[in-house]
Structure 1
Amino acid sequence: MSKASFDVLVPGSSLAFNGGFFGISAIVMVEAGGKRALFDVGHGVTRRMLLEALKARDLAPRDIDMLIFSHGHFDHVLNLDLFPDAPILMGRDERDYLDAIFETDTVTPRYLAALLSQRDVSTVDGEAEVMPGVTLFPTPGHSPGHVSLELDTADGPAILAADALKTAREATTGIPDLEFDPQKRGAASIREVLRRGRTIVPGHFPTLHRQEDGHLWWDEIQEMPLLIR
């Protein structure tokens, strides 16, 4: 059986400004079992980047078979309208949370549940293989029902962490940022991501690589030209 593979269509970045942050979250295409899935889809800031990345690979939105959402924050899900026929998969805890969002949660759209009610949405409770060689597993903390993916790739286990591990700072300190889970499970989720992965794709940072001794490194340089007009 062929191994699963992934392709980072939009690299994540934690770029922010005085009034907030740009929400440039990683959008990753997963290929396994002859199917293509997108792990998260971004929002308005990354919309053109996503479409151009697909076009560069001779693909169009209709060529995506499934969407998998790590969690319901705006910067990870709001381009779902680009893929109107693709079924959506997410953790059951996160889908339940969308019906009772905390008042203190400023990043989960209150209308997301209504949008999803019009779509083909399936949920996973706990850990499960969702594509051949692709395992979805719970990583709560940043959101109460956050999930990540573990891929059995030709280069070893790869973790698509999304916001369970957003940056190299979280990976090296073990301290989660923006934790909305009242049970404070973010640190445990960071440890689980690091335990499982040799290659780790964070939600807002270039791809990390973990050596046998636990040392982390990355070789991508982020550039973000700002045009003021």
Structure 2
Amino acid sequence: MEVRTCPVGTYHIPGKPHSVHILLEGYCKDAGHNQFVADGSVTLVRGPLTVLVDTAGPWSRDNLLESLRCQGVTPTDVTHVICTHGHSDHVGNLNLFPKAEILVSYDLWRNGVYVAHDFRGGVPYLLPGGEGLKVIPTPGHTGSDTTLLVPGTTMGTVAVAGDLFEREEDHDSWRQLSEDPETQERNRTALLKVADVIVPGHGPPFKVIRTEQ
């Protein structure tokens, strides 16, 4: 099987029961003198649940709130917050969502208590009432990264993947930021087999096109 990618060209992907909206596109730019500026993508999934995947850094607080407002969503409307991993450009605004169930990497918090789930054993987490929304462990960038799979959109299954993919055509550039490049490469390959669209951590969404050789 041959796999290639191409840009999606939209930040809004309708679907049933959930639609996907990229609120903030992540970026990573060289600032010179061995420094860089970066922020993570923020994705809203709307349907029976209202799910936010990653919250950007605290420096993007106002942009995040405005983006939610433009979608007609308040912080208290958000039922679930999923942070794909614990880096500051992905978890910086968790405090804005006090009523949500919160999953940061493999730590699941619900109704005031932490809830055990065997992510390290590879067990997916099906969001209660999510009608197919599923969080799968995809470590590599860190030891406990996750990806949200959103089935049933007009473009197929959307994978909101955090920094498993930095951006489309990131080639080997992701390796320098990876804690475990071999594991990350395996999980990247596995996700390319099931996702039709990938929302990466630091770039626009892209399509996955699979053809038989």
* 2:124 counterpart of 1:127: yes
Match of 2:187 in 1: 189
Looking at structure 2, the residues matched to 13 and 119 of structure 1 have their Cα atoms a distance apart, in angstroms, of 33
Q: Which amino acid aligns with 1:53?
A: S
Match of 1:157 in 2: 157
Match of 2:45 in 1: 30
Kindly indicate which of the two structures has a greater share of residues assigned to strand: 2
- Specify the SS of the correspondent of 2:73: coil
Match of 1:49 in 2: 63
Match of 1:88 in 2: 102
Looking at structure 2, the residues matched to 196 and 157 of structure 1 have their Cα atoms a distance apart, in angstroms, of 7
Looking at structure 2, the residues matched to 122 and 174 of structure 1 have their Cα atoms a distance apart, in angstroms, of 35
Report the more deviating stretch, 135-144 or 39-48: 39-48
Looking at structure 2, the residues matched to 61 and 138 of structure 1 have their Cα atoms a distance apart, in angstroms, of 26
Looking at structure 1, the residues matched to 18 and 138 of structure 2 have their Cα atoms a distance apart, in angstroms, of 21
Question: Contact (CA 8 Å) 1:10, 1:28: kept in 2 or not?
Answer: yes
Question: Contact (CA 8 Å) 1:165, 1:176: kept in 2 or not?
Answer: no
- Specify the SS of the correspondent of 1:196: coil
Kindly indicate which of the two structures has a greater share of residues assigned to helix: 1
Question: Contact (CA 8 Å) 1:71, 1:146: kept in 2 or not?
Answer: yes
- Specify the SS of the correspondent of 2:99: coil
- Specify the SS of the correspondent of 1:193: helix
Looking at structure 1, the residues matched to 165 and 116 of structure 2 have their Cα atoms a distance apart, in angstroms, of 22
Match of 1:180 in 2: 179
Looking at structure 1, the residues matched to 43 and 116 of structure 2 have their Cα atoms a distance apart, in angstroms, of 19
Looking at structure 1, the residues matched to 145 and 103 of structure 2 have their Cα atoms a distance apart, in angstroms, of 12
Shift of residue 189 of structure 1? 1.4
- Specify the SS of the correspondent of 1:212: strand
Looking at structure 1, the residues matched to 188 and 29 of structure 2 have their Cα atoms a distance apart, in angstroms, of 21
Q: Which amino acid aligns with 1:205?
A: G
Match of 1:146 in 2: 145
Give a deviation string over 1:121-162, Cα, whole Å, max 9, x none. 445422122222211111110000101011102321111111
Looking at structure 1, the residues matched to 101 and 86 of structure 2 have their Cα atoms a distance apart, in angstroms, of 16
Match of 1:20 in 2: 35
Shift of residue 176 of structure 1? 3.2
Q: Higher relative CO (CA 8 A, sep ≥ 6), structure 1 or 2?
A: 2
Change beyond 3 A, Cα 1:21–1:120: farther
| Identical aligned residues as a percent | 26
Q: Which amino acid aligns with 1:127?
A: P
Match of 2:4 in 1: none
Looking at structure 2, the residues matched to 121 and 20 of structure 1 have their Cα atoms a distance apart, in angstroms, of 36
Q: 1:201 aligns with which of 199, 202, 209?
A: 199
Question: Contact (CA 8 Å) 2:167, 2:200: kept in 1 or not?
Answer: yes
Shift of residue 120 of structure 1? 4.8
Question: Contact (CA 8 Å) 2:85, 2:146: kept in 1 or not?
Answer: yes
Looking at structure 2, the residues matched to 150 and 79 of structure 1 have their Cα atoms a distance apart, in angstroms, of 22
Q: Which amino acid aligns with 2:45?
A: V
State TM-score, norm by structure 1.
Answer: 0.73
Shift of residue 209 of structure 1? 0.9
How many residue pairs get aligned? The number is 189
Unaligned runs of 5+ in 1: 97-115, 215-229
